[in-house]
Amino acid sequence: MFFKDKVLNEEDLKLKIGFFHLSSCSGCQVAFLDMFEKIVEFLDTVELVYSNMLTRKREIPFLDVAFVEGALCVEENYHLRLIKEINEKSKLIVSVGACASFGGVRRLSCGNQMPQPQHNSFIPLTEIELIKNKLKYAIPGCPPNPSLLENFLLALLELDYDFLQPFEFIASSNDASGFNLISEVVNKGFCVGCGTCETACPTRAISFSQSCGKPNFTPSTCVHCGSCLAACPQSFKPYPQPTY
Amino acid sequence: MLRLDESFLLGKYKKAFKTVSKEGTPIETLFNLMFRENLIDGLLTYSKEKGKVVPKLILREGEFLQPQVPFGFGLNSLLKKAIQKYRLSKLAVFGTSCVLDGLNKTQYYGIGCNWVKTAVALKVGQLCLGNITEEGIRALLLHLKGRGEKLKRAFIEERELIFQTDKGKLKIPMEVLHKYILSACRYCLNLSSRGSDITYVQKERENEGLFIIRSERGWYTVAKLQKRAPGELKLKGAGQEEVDSLVSLLREKILLNIDSIIDRVEIGLPVPKWSGNKLRKFYRLWNSIETSDFEEEVF
């Protein structure tokens, strides 16, 4: 990984990270801040070089890891320029949250809303060809849990591939919702009826049927965050299994 | 080729104990004592309500009545309630291996909270030969007896799974059970709840059971309770014969499961896109001449 080369070759060992905002509610960046004092522990090894909320910089510097939240709006020229610039200036891109990873609630957008009524087409980063080589990890959740973001950053710094590997699976998938949980797990005969999907769902789109031992899915309340599919023990298992 | 021996079927464990409780079942006594000693502040398990097995969050000593039927669904759906609403920090979980898998995964993707480390005090696994729905049990009993009976208890005795119905006892052949369990349970290779602190096996007499102690935490908990209330939960080392009979039952079931896996891979039925290699990986291991570290690889 690039971080290894950085340690060997560069004088400045601090990992330069940046947060970028496309079309989203900024909740993912707030989730990063929700790590509170734990952020301070990272500051010895990590330097925040760009963030639309946390730094005053207007120009994007060269950086190691770009954390991008939000879906790309096809009608917004600024987004098109920004994604090109992120691709040029960063070594690794991580999509954070449901909108950037799977489209999220933006999938339900129909446009015709002030102040930008023309904005109606949104696509997640995982579907953009330009950044496919650099987009290695996708973090699910709406918003992702702060402790998940902390563990992810820690794993990135420690090169813990066992932890990071499933985020690679998620990055290679451009859709994840309750529909996928049904088609990928339940329909294929892999649902064990444990109920983890119901706990993972932030909008209560999934409830549990005790009689048939399967999840019930309510499409109208699903925000396409992918949490259910990612939390399901049958969608994939982290190897080696964590033991405590 | 994988050997279906004790280490594969039961996994690593410290010691197996035959357990006799003074009142109630051994697992009820264990949790009641843990509540009394403040070792746990909540218990996530199945309970019987209005004749149905439902997941339940137990918050006080004496509330837990073990459903004698070891089949149930949706236990992890109460996790958020237990940990975020009730702020429980010493939660015990009593469920099957798939429930514990889900629990282990909460620290990762989607949920992202390491509840296993921060909120769970004890994981007690249940020996599970496959989960089955209510109608599934009815169909199974109809298949075997030709008439509808009501299942009262299920237990393991002398290499057999036995159902106690309102009309008497009934030995359940594994091939018939295999037909009626959930399809996902047909591909399961962790029947004995590896990864738990203690695995519990229900025996014929209501106040008897088998505790397979796996972790340091399980060992410490049982030792502490023995010290405080030696008369309430009596533990006696289980003989090799007891373990062998359990292994023999598990072997019979797991052979059927392996058959199902091989069938599925050979036909090429689809698997989730994120773990496309899951069953094929096992298929390769099963067919390879030498294997090492299969536990890490497959489970």
Q: Is B137 on the interface with A (CB under 8 A)?
A: no
- The structure tokens 């973090």 sit at A139
Closest chain A C-alpha to B22 CA, distance in angstroms: 31
pLDDT tier, B185 (very low <50, low <70, confident <90, very high otherwise): very high
Q: Yes or no: say if A224 and A176 are a contact pair by the CB < 8 Å rule.
A: yes
Task: Say yes or no: B147 contacts chain A, CB-CB below 8 A.
Answer: no
First to last CA, chain A: 29
Residues of chain A in contact with residue B272, where contact means CB-CB under 8 angstroms, are: 184-185, 188, 190, 234-236
Query: Mean pLDDT over residues B273-277, rounded?
Result: 70
Two structure tokens written together for B2: 């994988």
Angle at B41 between CA B36 and CA B45, to 5 degrees: 100
Identify the CATH number of the domain defined by range A15-171. 3.40.50.700
A207 membership: H or E segment, kind and range: strand A206-209
pLDDT of A243 over the 50 cut = no
Position A116 scores a pLDDT of 84
| Residue extents of the structural domains in chain A | 15-171, 178-231
Mutate to test the interface with B, among A192, A206, A227 (most CBs of B within 10 A): A192
Alpha carbons A153 and B27: distance in angstroms, whole number: 41
**pTM (global) more than 0.90:** no
**Does the beta-carbon distance from B76 to A188 stay under 8 Å?**
no
pLDDT, chain A, mean: 86
CA of B182: which chain A residue's CA is closest? A192
Q: The domain at A178-231 falls in which architecture?
A: 2-Layer Sandwich (3.30)
**Intrachain domains A15-171 and A178-231 with the same fold:** no
* Helices B26-36, B216-228: crossing angle, 10 deg rounding: 80
Q: Which residues of B touch A192 (CB under 8 A)?
A: 98, 131, 182, 184-185, 188
Q: What confidence tier does A240 reach under pLDDT thresholds 50, 70, 90?
A: low
Give the helix ranges, DSSP H, for chain A: 2-9, 27-33, 37-42, 77-89, 97-102, 146-158, 161-171, 178-180, 196-200, 227-231
Confidence of residue B92 (pLDDT cuts 50, 70, 90): very high
Tokens of A173: 């998938």
Whether residue B29 is predicted with pLDDT greater than 90 in this model: the reply is: yes
